[in-house]
Amino acid sequence: MAFPPIMVRPFANRCLKTLIEAVILLITGLSISLSQEHLQKYYPETDTLVLEKLQRWGDSKFGLLMHWGTYSQWGIVESWSLGSEDEPWERRSDSSYTEYKARYQDLIKTFNPVKFHPAQWAEAAKAAGMRYVVFTTKHHDGFCMFDTKTTGYRITGPDCPFHSDPRANVAKEIFDSFRNRGFMIGAYFSKADWHSPYYWWQNFATPDRNPNYSIQRYPERWNQFVKFTQTQIDELMTEYGTIDILWLDAGWVRTKTEEEIIREKLHAEYAVFPQSQDIDMPSIVRNAREKQPGLIVVDRAVPGAYQNYLTPENMVPESTLPYPWETCMPMGTSWSFVPNDKYKSVRELIGLLVDVVSKGGNFLLNVGPDPEGEWAEDAYDRLLGMGAWMKINGEAIYGTHPVLPHREGNVRFTQLADGTTYVIYLAEEGEISPPEKIRASLLRPADGAELTMLGSDLQLAWRILEHGFEVDIPKVFRERPPCKHAWILKISRIAVSPGGKTMK
Ligand code: GLC
């Protein structure tokens, strides 16, 4: 079947158009940083079931993210080497893109994770104190880690050696294993699909991450993509038990106004042919919530009603944010498996968790399973270390909210609804016992308050200072600390410090 060629606008015309567009931009006073502002916008949810789930999710604080797919066999940056944006994370080993892509897509034929035992992952995550999981059911490459009927490019497809294994529907196995252990369940799903002919039409080259054809010119093709996406999400929402979070990645797949398109034409880093990519989120979410009442939807980086929480990626914000949020971060250096990856230390990870929680966020920590279906020993080691700490100190994490002043040097603060306040001292590298004194200048225990160190019932005495208070840490804790990496003072009631600011 022959397809009508896409007409390319003559270059001179394009220049003129760009100039006119630039003038429009100036006149309307739009600034490039608008997209940044958009990232900060939050549209509060009104559905009470969603709000309840959000509350439960927010109280759970600590979750596990897993990036796993055929790409794990090559130890590359997930799907990204299929892109043509000439970025370091898209580097390819072959000189020919076409050959590389064919080899990449052939990875289905060797993906055989016979050592896959999700119960072991769920046990380790639970012992670490994690309370929810988000798993990549489909990354941008379009390979489905669930048993979809929409494509053969899936782990249960005949081309994949693992398809005949009883555990082949790995998404289901993972969700069941974690749900059985009380976890909330999140499905990561990439809205972009670089395998679908309705997103990347084989008729054209693929200059960037976006659809490689004009949606306006071929609306039928795009409608097919919308249907395809709907069907896949439908499958995930109906055949996998209770799903709590739909974590949608590929924020560039979204509706765009004319102004946004114009702005992209001038400034977009990755859009040769900017256009609106409307996948009908209202109906996706309506359908999904019909099957999964109260479902939290995270349409990442897309300002609007379908981003129930925001997801700063691989960073911790400077301070509290006025909406629900979650820092996602790899435990190593990469989202997906790379051989001999360098994992962050237990001390660093606890420091990150505490820092995030003291600012009101959740911490979603990523582990990338290897091609055989195993985690690196380091992942188990770090989770074990975090678990030992959480066992003693978890009450200062779960269900807490931030309290001013959030931080003072290496000290962080959290608080429970009943006013119990935690002063968390984060160890520096090599610091193996708590300091002689812990101080805070903007708050102090209320008269008659009880003060202990988590891990012991011993009552500690404190001294009020001109600004704040200080506690002498008894020798016994310095010689035999109740835990490693961060030590926590629990104060039953606090008051405003003399000279301090009003407490929240
Ligand atoms: C980034 C990566 C993507 C990954 C995601 C996880 O967007 O490009 O591959 O899935 O982070 O947060």
Q: Residue 21's pLDDT is what? A: 39
Ligand 1 atom closest to Cα of residue 314: 12
Q: Residue 167's pLDDT is what? A: 98
- What is the mean predicted confidence (pLDDT) over 45-58? 97
Residue 58 CA to residue 45 CA, distance in Å, equals 14
Closest-CA residue, ligand 1 atom 12, reads 313
Give pLDDT tens digits for 323-378. Answer: 999 999 999 999 999 999 999 999 999 999 999 999 999 999 999 999 999 999 99
Give pLDDT tens digits for 200-238. Answer: 999 999 999 999 999 999 999 999 999 999 999 999 999
Instruction: Return the HEC string of 21-74.
Output: HHHHHHHHCCCCCHHHHHHHCCCCCCCHHHHHHHHHHHHHCEEEEECCCHHHHC
Residue 269 CA to residue 213 CA, distance in Å, equals 18
Provide the token pair at 30.
């739009």
Cβ 313 under 6 angstroms from ligand 1: yes
Closest-CA residue, ligand 1 atom 1, reads 313
pTM, to two decimals? 0.91
Provide CATH code, domain 401-500: 2.60.40
- Of the candidates 364, 422, 363, which has an alpha carbon nearest to the alpha carbon of residue 395? 422
CATH class belonging to 45-396: alpha beta
106 CA distance to ligand 1 middle (Å)? 22
Distance of CA 178 to the CA centre of its chain: 17
Distances in Å between the Cα of 17 and the Cα atoms of 22, 24, 214, 259, 435 are: 9, 10, 18, 14, 65
Arithmetic mean of pLDDT over the chain: 91
pLDDT above 80 for 393: yes
- The H or E element spanning position 494 is strand 494-496
pLDDT above 60 for 430: yes
Ligand 1 atom closest to Cα of residue 136: 10
Q: What DSSP assignment string belongs to 442-483?
A: SEEEPTT--EEETT------EEE-SSSEEEEPPHHHHHS-SS
Q: What DSSP assignment string belongs to 299-336?
A: ETT--STTBSSB--BS---SS--SS-BEEEEESSS-SS
Ligand 1 atom closest to Cα of residue 311: 12
Q: Residue 500's pLDDT is what? A: 53
411 CA distance to ligand 1 middle (Å)? 31
CA-angle at 311, arms to 309 and 317, nearest 5° = 110
Give pLDDT tens digits for 70-111. Answer: 999 999 999 999 998 889 899 888 779 999 999 999 999 999
